Structure 1
Amino acid sequence: MTRVHGVVKIHLKDKWTWIYIPWMILLSSFSINFLIAALAAPEAGVKTGGVLSIFIYMMVTGIITMYNTFPFALGMSVRRTDYFKGTFLAALLINALTTVVLLALFLIEEKVIPEWGVSLQFFSLAFLRSFNLLELFGIFFLLLLNMFYAGFAISCLQRRFGRTGMFVFFGGLLAAGSIASYFLTANNGWMTLFGWLAEHYDLLFWWSLPLTLLYMVLSYLMMRRTTV
């Protein structure tokens, strides 16, 4: 466990990647949208998905974490298994804290300073208001963890198979997407798909859990065979 805790400390020392940059991006987006809402007509208001920036950046964190810390950890005689466990604990901690802050901002926007006094919906989006706080915690936390491990798996793929592997993977992903798009268009399935998503959007959040587990398993298997 000492080496696992050592890996956690390695990650937490990089506060810029894990904490400062994502919140700088999010707060910059919030500030811009706040100014737009303040200058716009009150009845118009602003509804924005700017809060998604921190989720997207968490994928970037997953990508660069492997690149920045994996060779250093192995150079310190850390086993791959210990590195994976330590990274998992660090991701749990940071994403749990991020979720708590997001929930606090959600409540401030919803209860304390409704729409920040300028008719701005940034953290408290309309479709999220049907969930209680426990459900919101689960949704935010699972999505953050999902995005992190999606990025981490991509980084493991690149380190394990190189540029050729990345080209084959994303080429295959693009081909699969193109084929699916063709069949949906040919069978007028887009409206059916969007209608189903609109009615069952809550299920999409919980499906991120098995996807996260899949990303974790795949990244671990690839990491075990990577070279530094």
Structure 2
Amino acid sequence: MSHVVKALRLSLVNSLTSVGWPWAILAMTFAVNWAIFAVLPDDVPVPDRQTGALASLYFVALIANLQLWTQGFPFAMGLSLTRKAYFGGTVLMLLLQSVVAGVALTALSRVEAATSGWGVDMKFFAPWVFDQGNLGARFLMYAVPFAMLSALGMVIGVVFKRWGQSGVYTLTITSLLLIAVVTLLVTWQDWWAAIGRFFTDSSFVGLTAGYPALLAVACASLAWLGLRRAAP
């Protein structure tokens, strides 16, 4: 456990990149969106004052946490940390980030509601997708997708460490081909209506937290399998 904690501390040293930048980008995105909504005509209805710019936090976090493997992993190996310890410490780091993101975004969504959308009726932290459920459900809807994308960043980072840029290109092309094949199969079998019913019949918490949690575990498992043979 002491080696895992050491790896966690090592990840925190690079927290400006993995933690700071996602929130800095989100703050800048928020400022730009607030300025846009502030100058909109008053006759624009409140339901139309939605923005999906919150997604910037998640995608920047994916890229930032990817660097924990492309840059932090070789340094950790130089300090004689084991792969298992570094993996455990990094997973703890990502879980902490997810919890912090869930708590912070839930609180900001409540402030947004209390201030009438920051004074301009803007739905930034709680667009219609997240504007439902109790506080516990809302926390999960924020935190779990954050963990899932961070785990996806783990997979990409490990692929890069083990197979280099060619591995990342191969992973990207294979993923796109798989999506294309699945899309063609669904269209051929006329399954779109059934898929639509699945989404409409499933609970929103299940779609935004339950299934992403399973994907996060799957990505973390794949990352560990690849990391076992990755070069420092």
Structure 1 range deviating more: 171-180 or 214-223: 171-180
> Whole-Å Cα distance in 2 between the matches of residues 88 and 157 of structure 1?
17
> Whole-Å Cα distance in 2 between the matches of residues 114 and 199 of structure 1?
31
> Whole-Å Cα distance in 2 between the matches of residues 126 and 164 of structure 1?
40
Asked whether the 8 Å contact 2:155–2:222 carries over to 1, the reply is: yes
Q: CA deviation at 1:168?
A: 3.1
> Whole-Å Cα distance in 1 between the matches of residues 134 and 5 of structure 2?
34
> Whole-Å Cα distance in 2 between the matches of residues 195 and 48 of structure 1?
26
1:116-154 Cα distance to aligned partner (Å, 9 max, x none): 121110011223232111111122111111110101111
Whichever residue aligns with residue 78 of structure 2, its letter is: G
Asked whether the 8 Å contact 1:42–1:119 carries over to 2, the reply is: no
- 1:20 aligned partner: 20
Fraction of identical pairs, as percent? 25
2:129 partner SS: helix
Q: CA deviation at 1:166?
A: 2.8
Asked whether the 8 Å contact 1:48–1:121 carries over to 2, the reply is: yes
* 200, 211, 230: which one aligns with 1:226: 230
1:14-56 Cα distance to aligned partner (Å, 9 max, x none): 2321232111111111111111111001231521011111111
Correspondence list, 1:78-117, <5 A: 78-110=81-113, 112-117=114-119
1:129 partner SS: coil
1:1-20 Cα distance to aligned partner (Å, 9 max, x none): 22222211111122321232
Against the structure 1 CA distance between its residues 21 and 117, is the aligned structure 2 distance closer, same or farther, given a 3 Å change threshold?
Answer: same
Asked whether the 8 Å contact 1:42–1:118 carries over to 2, the reply is: no
1:43-85 Cα distance to aligned partner (Å, 9 max, x none): 3152101111111112112311101110011100101111011
Whichever residue aligns with residue 143 of structure 1, its letter is: P
Segments of structure 2 that go 5 or more residues without pairing to the other structure are none
1:47 partner SS: coil
> Whole-Å Cα distance in 2 between the matches of residues 164 and 66 of structure 1?
17
1:72-128 Cα distance to aligned partner (Å, 9 max, x none): 111001011110111111112222122211111000011x20211211100112232
Segments of structure 1 that go 5 or more residues without pairing to the other structure are none
* 214, 219, 227: which one aligns with 2:218: 214
Task: State TM-score, norm by structure 1.
Answer: 0.91
RMSD value over aligned CA atoms? 1.8
Q: CA deviation at 1:190?
A: 4.1
- 2:171 aligned partner: 169
Task: State TM-score, norm by structure 2.
Answer: 0.90
Q: CA deviation at 1:193?
A: 3.3
- 2:140 aligned partner: 138
Whichever residue aligns with residue 229 of structure 2, its letter is: R
